[in-house]
C-alpha cells in the first residue's frame, strides 16, 4: 500500500498581507522626534557675515579718494588675557581676566551701549579672535556685541 501524499505539498497558499504595523509605529515616533530636533538645530545657529575683502592701497591712493575714511569702525579683539574694543586706531576699552579667569562682559556691554548711543546708525562690528581663545568666550563676546551691533564679522587675530 502506498503512503498517503503529504497535505503540505497540496495546501492552497493565499496571498500574504504585508505586516507594516511595526514600520508605522517607528514612523509615528521618528517623525515628531526629527521635527523637534530640527527646530532646536535652527535655534542654536549663529548668523555671521564674512569680512569684506580689502585691497591694500598706498597712502597717495588713499588721499586721492573722494570719500573720507569711515568715522566709526568697531573692532573687538579677543586675546588670551584681555578683550579690547577698538575704533580705527583708538583703544576705547580693555577688559582683562579677573582672578577667577572671567572677563567683565557686563562692563563691556555698558561700553558698547554707550558707543551705540554715540553712533546709532552703525550696525557692524568685527571680532578678531586668537586661535587659542575658548569657544565659550567667543560666543559670550558675540552675544554681548550683537545687542547693539547685529552685523558681526569674525576673523582671526
Closest alpha carbon to 137 in 122, 157, 120: 157
**In a 10 Å sphere around its CB, with 0-12 CB exposed, 13-18 middle and 19+ buried, how is residue 85 labelled?**
buried
pLDDT score of 40:
66
CATH number of the domain bearing residue 85: 3.30.420.60
Task: Give the mean pLDDT of the chain.
Answer: 80
Lowest mean pLDDT among 2-11, 35-44, 53-62: 53-62
Residue with cell 548668523: 47
Question: How confident is the model at residue 23, as a pLDDT?
Answer: 92
Non-local CB neighbours of 75 within 8 Å, separated by 6+ positions: 85, 86, 87, 125, 126, 127, 128
Q: What is the mean pLDDT of residues 137-141?
A: 90
Structural domain for 85, as ranges: 70-156
Pick from 78, 86, 82: nearest CA to 115 = 86
- 87 within some domain: yes
CA–CA distance, 95 with 78 (Å, rounded to integer): 10
The tally of domains found in the chain comes to 1
- Please indicate, yes or no, if residue 116 is contained in any of the structural domains: yes
The DSSP letter of residue 18 is P
pLDDT of residue 3: 76
Answer with the residue of higher pLDDT: 15 or 75: 75
| Confidence (pLDDT) at 49 | 63
Alpha helices in the chain (DSSP H): 7-10, 21-43, 59-64, 105-118, 135-146
* Residue 6 covered by a domain: no
pLDDT tens digit sequence for 44-93? 556 666 666 655 555 555 555 566 655 778 899 998 888 999 887 788 88
Amino acid at each position: 500500500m502506498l503512503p498517503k501524499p503529504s497535505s503540505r505539498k497540496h495546501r492552497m497558499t493565499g496571498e500574504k498581507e504585508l505586516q507594516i504595523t511595526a514600520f508605522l509605529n517607528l514612523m509615528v515616533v521618528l517623525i515628531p522626534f526629527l521635527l523637534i530636533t530640527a527646530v532646536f538645530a535652527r535655534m542654536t545657529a549663529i548668523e555671521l557675515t564674512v569680512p569684506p575683502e580689502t585691497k591694500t592701497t598706498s597712502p597717495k591712493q588713499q588721499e586721492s579718494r573722494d570719500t573720507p575714511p569711515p568715522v566709526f569702525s568697531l573692532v573687538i579683539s579677543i586675546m588670551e588675557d584681555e578683550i579690547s574694543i577698538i575704533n580705527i586706531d583708538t583703544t576705547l576699552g580693555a577688559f582683562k581676566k579677573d582672578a577667577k579667569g572671567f572677563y567683565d562682559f557686563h562692563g563691556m556691554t555698558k561700553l558698547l551701549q554707550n558707543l551705540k548711543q554715540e553712533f546709532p546708525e552703525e550696525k557692524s562690528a568685527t571680532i578678531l579672535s586668537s586661535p587659542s581663545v575658548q569657544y565659550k568666550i567667543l560666543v559670550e563676546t558675540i552675544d554681548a556685541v550683537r545687542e547693539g551691533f547685529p552685523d558681526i564679522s569674525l576673523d582671526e587675530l
